[in-house]
Structure 1
């Protein structure tokens, strides 16, 4: 079935509540019928980079411009994509509205969560964005403190605040999602070398663990953590390594970049195992986005995509390694990559349906059941 037709079918099934029909078709395991949902997540709080930024960087550092947003929103939405991100499909799956960016104050409701992710963010400071993970955690702590105080003071008498503020008792019941680390590796490759980038991974894990401890101290108990994707399969990485035939794997991806990503993911899994032992009241679900994304790239044709290393945006041909690359396209649904770094909505849809039902999760639980 063509990509655009699959998207239409998916949206129709979502709107009709036929999620049980999607489980087998989306690789989620389990039998037919609607899956029993053990969890009720009143809100989602997300931390990360451009893979899950729904408007943070756009609000803080300059508007995301057209043609971003053209496929679904019909205009720029703060996302570096032609449409929705994986976090948007997760919100839909949980029956929640799309997350508003914490940094965007215009027409914003935080009743069902907030998004602290900003494009370019990293775990360690000194990367592409000032909003590294420590800052995002600090923003959440301030957000929680101030909203609770405001809710307790005014919610009983002011319906406006009651409609846009999270309930104080719901912070511990909410889902805390993460998609961060890609920029740490990319920045390392750009400004240092492979050895130094590898040596910095334990520091990344220390900072990441510290962030989870802080959130746990604030009452967070349900954590949904994406590992980092195959950075070497991004069209920009492939372009810059196209002449280095010794650094190309069987799929055509840059092997060294992927090996570093895999080492990051190995250490992340080890840290989460430690956290499970140290924080037994919490539920930590690690999602293997690396494998999910690599499967889409390596099987592009079977999903209806064209060359997995071509991209669509952004309005003009891009230059990489002194070569013109990425002709503007009329049909983003035929491309995995939107702009050479970020995935298209069509690819995000496939990724979302791959990971939301537990096939790539440890433990193998759907996101709707990833709670204490």
Structure 2
């Protein structure tokens, strides 16, 4: 499966780096691994949901799939399972880190795994029960187990010490939580809303999330990038439920305690897990800025999907072979739930090199250079 090659790469990269690195900014290096990119980290491991899934649901018995046209209409190679017309946010971040686009865990093999793996799954949540209305999906707990499978093979081949040293320089990107609201708390067929108020549910999620991230730390992760939840009340599927066509303040307020808890959790983990570094991407502030100042970013449509059916193109999401809008770069939303490639690229760049208004306490570029 190429795991041995990947782990060897990580270890050899570290040995080779000390001999050939070019010292620049504090902690920076520039090994000449290729003519076209300067790799800031050996690898990136990705955990999350449909916002960053790149095909792990393709072979599952699942209703949450995007391996059909017009998904991928602007992606080199066409539909892959990405819930976008092109790039996802982590695709842009990988490129900025000097890495190639990372393979999905479900079909990664050989040299494809040299630079990391994407474990994200559409409809996945922090809670195992989240997203069951879509049948097949890979919850965060199972994504971690999938990473353990990779790690077990690496450790068998190289030994725990060498693997731990290699993993300490890799970036672990985690973007979870959206489905725990959209496809759990807000779903009428779930009991969750009757069992917890908004703050209690946010506390439950963070308790689980804290344990899951600690588990990744215990497996060797040290550099974490954690993405928050955006303005969920402004996505086309929620707008389509409104008689006024305006953002749902109730939904936007509902997710605020989760984002607030995440910042507290990250500060606590940073203090309690020796050698760990955490970065929080404030997706809420990013999206608020984009929706408020959309014209300055070149967007003209912020209240409906480029591809979808019904009110705000959000009542039914993008169907197979549906004709999407022609001016995709002017739309903030691609379908009922997900942003366009233009927004994904913009957010990826902000996360990589932005200031503390959108990424805290440092940005991804600074994390990579530590």
**TM-score, reference length from structure 1:** 0.77
For the Cα contact (< 8 Å) 1:100–1:114, is it kept in 2?
yes
Q: How does 1:212-227 map to 2 (within 5 A)?
A: 212-227=213-228
Match 1:190 to one of 178, 187, 191: 187
CA–CA distance in structure 2, aligned partners of residues 224 and 358 of structure 1:
14
Tell me what 1:52 maps to: 52
CA–CA distance in structure 2, aligned partners of residues 239 and 127 of structure 1:
22
Shift of 1:369: 3.0
Q: How does 1:104-183 map to 2 (within 5 A)?
A: 104-105=107-108, 109-128=112-131, 130-150=137-157, 169-183=165-179
Shift of 1:371: 6.0
Match 1:271 to one of 265, 269, 273: 265
Shift of 1:149: 2.3
Cα RMSD after superposing both structures: 2.8
Shift of 1:348: 1.0
Q: How does 1:173-322 map to 2 (within 5 A)?
A: 173-186=169-182, 187-191=184-188, 192-193=192-193, 196-243=197-244, 252-314=246-308, 317-318=309-310
For the Cα contact (< 8 Å) 1:283–1:370, is it kept in 2?
no
CA–CA distance in structure 1, aligned partners of residues 310 and 76 of structure 2:
24
**TM-score, reference length from structure 2:** 0.78
CA–CA distance in structure 1, aligned partners of residues 317 and 137 of structure 2:
29
Shift of 1:302: 2.0
CA–CA distance in structure 2, aligned partners of residues 348 and 366 of structure 1:
15
Count of aligned residue pairs for this structure pair: 317
CA–CA distance in structure 2, aligned partners of residues 338 and 274 of structure 1:
36
CA–CA distance in structure 1, aligned partners of residues 73 and 249 of structure 2:
33
For the Cα contact (< 8 Å) 1:189–1:197, is it kept in 2?
no
Tell me what 2:35 maps to: none
Match of 2:150, SS state, is helix
Structure 2: stretches of 5+ with no match in the other structure: 1-23, 30-39
Match of 2:252, SS state, is helix
For the Cα contact (< 8 Å) 1:283–1:371, is it kept in 2?
no
Change (3 A) 1:42 1:289: same
CA–CA distance in structure 2, aligned partners of residues 265 and 189 of structure 1:
17
Tell me what 1:19 maps to: none
